[in-house]
């Protein structure tokens, strides 16, 4: 039987690795300090639910980040596939029909609505034809998603403070785009440090490459945990 989870759930490590073997090797390296892991599209296409099940059987929590976005019936059917796999958090894109379909089919899994991808900047947003600010768009999508049944949202750490003030203390706010001061931004546009994201109101910070690509991933994870206190 898996041991009870005793780690700081605020840190979710993104297993953005190409194979289940590499992902589980990384998990073994991080296991002394980390108990919550994100499985994204790349890893899921290699291993499917087997990697999620391997994590949960070891007593870890799983965030499945597939960002469902399709017609409501397809989203509902896809969300029902999560049943029996002990998925703590799952992501869908923050459109009301998508969120509502997932929320009705979610079972014990919490559904998080993705507001605006952290790789998108204000210039790119304007190119899509949206004249408002990123914060405004994140707020509109967050409020609509919660009204449609989402348990929380995914947003960049730069919007976390405004959304926390607007949404109150209950909803989950998970923030990717976390970069310690000595880390490169990579392809993330809207970033903040771990401490800044938590101070702004994030319930979870999602950290991938600053940990998994570090010379010592366990030390990098522990540094972040010390930073968020």
Provide the annotated binding site: 16, 38, 65-74, 118, 179, 188, 208-209
C-alpha to C-alpha distance for 207 and 205, rounded to whole angstroms: 6
Confirm whether 104 is a catalytic residue.
Answer: no
Contact 160, 197 (CB under 8 A): yes
C-alpha to C-alpha distance for 140 and 132, rounded to whole angstroms: 11
C-alpha separations of 178 from 112, 182, 184 in Å: 18, 11, 10
Please pick, among 46, 53, 70, 86, the residue that the annotation labels catalytic: 70
Reference 118, options 64, 27, 197, 56; nearest CA is 197
DSSP 188: -
Confirm whether 151 is a catalytic residue.
Answer: no
**E strands, 28-125, in order:** 36-40, 61-68, 89-93, 110-114
Confirm whether 110 is a catalytic residue.
Answer: no
Q: Is residue 117 classed as helix, strand or coil in its secondary structure?
A: coil
Start-to-end Cα distance in the chain: 30
Tell me the binding residues for substrate: 16, 38, 65-74, 118, 179, 188, 208-209
Catalytic residues: 65, 67, 70
């Amino acid at each position: 039987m898996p041991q009870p989870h005793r780690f700081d759930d605020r840190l979710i490590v993104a297993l953005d690795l190409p194979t289940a073997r590499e992902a589980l090797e990384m998990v073994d390296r991080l296991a002394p300090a980390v108990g919550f892991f994100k499985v994204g599209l790349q890893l899921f296409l290699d291993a499917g639910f087997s990697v999620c099940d391997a994590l949960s059987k070891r007593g870890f929590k799983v965030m499945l980040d597939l960002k469902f976005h399709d017609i409501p019936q397809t989203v509902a059917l896809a969300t029902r596939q999560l049943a029996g796999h002990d998925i703590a958090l799952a992501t869908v894109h923050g459109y009301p029909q998508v969120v509502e379909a997932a929320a009705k089919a979610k079972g014990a899994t919490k559904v998080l609505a993705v507001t605006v991808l952290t790789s998108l900047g204000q210039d790119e947003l304007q190119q899509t034809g949206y004249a408002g600010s990123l914060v405004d768009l994140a707020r509109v999508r967050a409020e609509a998603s919660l009204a449609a049944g989402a348990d929380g949202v995914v947003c960049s750490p730069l919007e976390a403070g405004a959304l926390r003030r607007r949404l109150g203390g209950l909803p989950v706010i998970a923030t990717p785009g976390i970069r310690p001061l000595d880390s490169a931004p990579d392809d993330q546009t809207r970033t903040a440090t771990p401490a800044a994201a938590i101070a702004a109101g994030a319930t979870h910070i999602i950290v991938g490459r600053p940990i998994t690509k570090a010379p010592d991933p366990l030390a990098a994870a522990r540094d972040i945990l010390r930073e968020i206190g």
